[in-house]
Chain A
Amino acid sequence: MKNILARAAGVAGLLMAFSAGVMSAQQPGPVIRFEESAAAMGVTFRHETGAAGELVMQETMGSGLSLLDYDGDGDLDIYFMNSSPMPGWKGEGKPANVLYANNGDGSFTDVTAKAGVGDTGYGQGSTVGDYDNDGDPDLYVMNHGPNILYRNNNDGTFTDVTAEAGVGDPGWSSSGVFFDADADGDLDLFVVNYCDSSPENNKWCGRKGKEWRAYCTPQVYTMTADRFYRNGGDGRFTDATLEAGIVDRTGKGLGVVSFDYDHDGDIDLHVANDSTPNQLWRNDGTGHFREVGLLVGIAYSEDGRSEAGMGTDAGDYDGDGLQDLLVANLDYETNSVLRNMGGTFLHMGYTSGIGALSLGRVGFGLNWLDADNDGNLDVFVANGHIIQNIKMYNDTLSYAQTNQLFLNQVDLTFKEVGETSGFALPNVARGSAVGDLNGDGLLDIVVSRNGGPAGIYMNRSRGLGHWLRLRLRGTRSNRDGYGSLLALKAGGRVQTREVRVTRSYQSSSEATVHFGLGGAEKVDGLTVTWLSGLEESFEVPGVDRVLTLVEGKGRKLAEKNALRRGGPAKGRAPIDSGG
């Protein structure tokens, strides 16, 4: 393995030259600023835990949210998950999930009732995917209890099709992901399940004395297996967990991200498990999997310990064309930055500067995002402790904690700027999602908070670079192009992105692919490799705009064998990362 510092030096040199150009064109320099705007935008959602004093684990673990354009009007709407009352709850009303429609003028309207998505189950996570390829996003809702699939009727309403689709997993599901495991053109579904804690088998944890009681850890409960549903293409799914080789007897899963870790053209899965080793399910190209986490270096911490994996995301932060991983962990564990070295991973927690700054926090949601449009992926972490009385146990910890924003310094390190960029107020955050809510070309961040109001951090930064946002429309591949690989050349360098929405914790971000371009005023090349195997280039007429790329409408570069079920996997074209 080459010395990564030497590799980094090459990348850094290129990018520093690039950044210098950006800076000179944008004096006096960018100002990174996010503003908490939920209330001002009419988003009054408040998560209820439903807690009644017995400290049942599920109360403290939720919840998540999804960004989706449910009504097809071109802007992002928000779906928040909510809990339901525990026995003896003293609250009023009945908590339910809430859907907010984006009015396109900076405000949102609660359309839950009209849309028919106000599930009152004990909500945890949600994810989005057009499973029936009819051109609108469908919603999968994960509960402590039966999950729900809402099919979008393309008229502003949804229908609960769980029973006919066969995806009503009854356990404690935390996160789930739609992805095309076998590249047959429709989206399959992987659901991450946690453990068997429930009000009925709740245990007493904490130190002696009632005031010391605390939520239990997953170690005192039994894991419940994850589930893989294969899409039959007719509106029905088949539980193909074992057939697909997903034999999971250990994982207490909370987060999941689908990505092509080994660059072989099919989509693999990374599952973040709590207190048990994380897993990497390697796809053989036919929708069959083998767990390789230990061998590739993602199963344990740097010193070989199982950590409390919560949220996870994948993205190419070092510009080498390979997807790197983030994993949020508990306090006294570092959040993991796992650099993809070509199919194996290197722990970069301390090296990146993120590790040491996560020791005093409990991370849940986290996202790669280009917050400052400089073309480099930055990191957002949504923090908040699990235990309300944590200060009794440790006087340096707190229940409410500040979220963090780490800016990529282009030398494999990050600089934390949260305090000065709008994340100074402590909260008990869980899920997080990223998208451009107001269409200004800057990525905004939405968080859900346990037992608290939702947060919308609008990106009000000034002096940032150019951008390009891309929507994919699959014709042979799945409709939204999930799993496609984009390579964009601009300003003398190449950036790569994979299309995915499920990332972070219990949450789903926008499907639109966002590229920050820094000072580059034109795009020199854009290629898309679809899961169908088609690789094509697209002309980009200019920057600072949103484009829709339709499969088959570009200039064909190559036609690789599609990853048909039972057929051999073929690799994608090597990425020209040399600029």
Chain B
Amino acid sequence: MPPREMLGLFLVLAVLGCGSPSRQDEQRPAEATPVPVVPSADADPDIEPALPALVSSGDALSDGVSLLRRGQVQEAIDLLEKAREEHPSDPAIAFYLGRAFNTDTKLARAEEAYRAALAIEPGMAEAWLRLSAIYVEQGRLAEALECLRSLGRERGRGPNLDYQEGFVLSKMGRFPEAMAMLQSSLKARPSPDAWYIYGVTAQRAGDDDQAVGAFQRALSLDPSYADAWFNLGNALSRQGRTKEAEDALRRFADLNVAKEEAASLASNLRVLRRGAEMDLQDGNLDRVEAQIGEAEAIDPGQPWVERLRGELLLAQGQREACLEHLRRSEALNARDPGEQMALARAFRMAGDPEVAKRHRHEAERLLKDGAGGMP
């Protein structure tokens, strides 16, 4: 799955507090995190919007989904598991339990829950697609393909499903079938992603002429498609068209390097923040100071830096200085509900419960608006 394409759903999952191994947390830029999530079925005109309605089992289900949206994944799992015990034949509960496990990277349990949902309601398109994505992620390509074919049998075919099948068949090395599926998808609905995968498939099959043409078609639809520039450059290079290859790879580098650097900096800041918070808990104040300093060197405008500096000062017995930094943090107006909650806690510890309350409310408002995840 082209990472660019994953980005949309990845962001949704991130809002839901998608858990992934820390190595990926820290190392991989979000868009590069290889979570091969298939597009939502409702993007396909041939498949009706398929997310289960939050009705059948009442409050438990809606509360579980609400918790999931807030990033309280474990709480959501607990609630949905209980609801599933009470309503074992409700496919929506099973599906959202699968979503919760999926978000928590408990993929084996997510698989089981999606399977359970599909056993009750075989036409649940979103469950087939997410199950397929789990299999792709694990390299279980035959199973992924079978999910997509089951979906086709249940709900009929369309360009999105053809695209998905082409994508999986290409990974399986079944190039002629993959290209036929992708052609079918492109005929009904040309898209840069389908052209891109068509190009990758042609390239894997050793047909660089077709690959170059397909990448160029993808880029004509989306000139900012970094992956397509990259693969176009490589294909041209193999063809000995060095100058053109260099131009394409330069375009790729321009698009890619800044993105990788930004991701790297963001990753560093996350680690420093977490490390400083843990060290503050443990009373390692020198290390807190060092990490705050490092973060300031990367980006001095971080609300959490001021907040942690305040908490550090409080730990050193300097309440007034602490409040000054907390107010600076406040002025930076974090849009992250988790940071607002942390600020509330800091003000409370510093003896200002009124301001703490204000930040709690702000955190709740942000959560209601769908921003960020809980700490």
Residues of A participating in the B interface, judged by any CB pair closer than 8 Å: 1-8, 203-208, 210, 212, 214-220, 275, 294-297, 300, 302-306, 308, 330-333, 341, 344, 346-348, 350-351, 353, 355-360, 386-387, 390, 393-397, 413
Contact = CB atoms under 8 A, between A and B. Distances in A.
Contacts of B200: 302-303
Interface stretch (B43-51, B148-156, B268-276): B268-276
Contact of B234 (A2, A275, A344, A387): A344
B137 A332 contact: yes
Most buried by B among A2, A300, A344: A344
A386 B246 CA distance: 36
A571 to B, nearest CB: 17
Interface string B107-136: 111000000000000000000000000000
Interface of B: 2-3, 19-27, 32-35, 105-109, 137-141, 170-173, 200, 203-208, 226-227, 230-231, 233-234, 237-239, 242, 245-246, 249, 252-253, 256, 260, 264, 267-268, 271-272, 274-275, 277-279, 291, 375
A3 B227 contact: no
B104 to A, nearest CB: 9
A356 B171 contact: yes
A206 B242 CA distance: 43
A5 B3 contact: no
A6 B173 contact: no
B171 to A, nearest CB: 5
B238 A304 contact: no
B237 A296 contact: yes
A296 B32 CA distance: 22
A380 B256 CA distance: 33
Contacts of A394: 20-21, 105-107
A356 B142 CA distance: 11
A393 B226 contact: no
Which secondary structure characterizes the binding site on chain B?
helix
Contacts of A300: 230
A344 B237 contact: yes
B138 A359 contact: yes
Contacts of A304: 226-227, 230-231, 252, 256
Contact of A5 (B137, B172, B206, B291): B206
Closest 9 CB pairs of A and B: A4-B206, A204-B275, A356-B139, A217-B27, A304-B230, A359-B139, A393-B21, A214-B22, A332-B34
Nearest to A220: B271
For B22, B139, B231, B272, the residue with the greatest tally of chain A CB atoms inside 10 Å of its CB is: B22
Given A4-B206, A302-B200, A395-B109, A206 B22 contact: yes
A218 B26 CA distance: 9
16 contacts: A1-B206, A1-B238, A204-B271, A204-B275, A204-B278, A205-B25, A205-B271, A206-B22, A303-B200, A346-B234, A353-B173, A393-B19, A393-B22, A395-B105, A395-B106, A396-B107
B210 to A, nearest CB: 10
Contacts of B208: 1
B23 A330 contact: yes
B173 A351 contact: yes
B23 to A, nearest CB: 5
Contact of B137 (A208, A218, A344, A359): A359
A351 B256 CA distance: 26
Contact of B3 (A207, A294, A303): A303
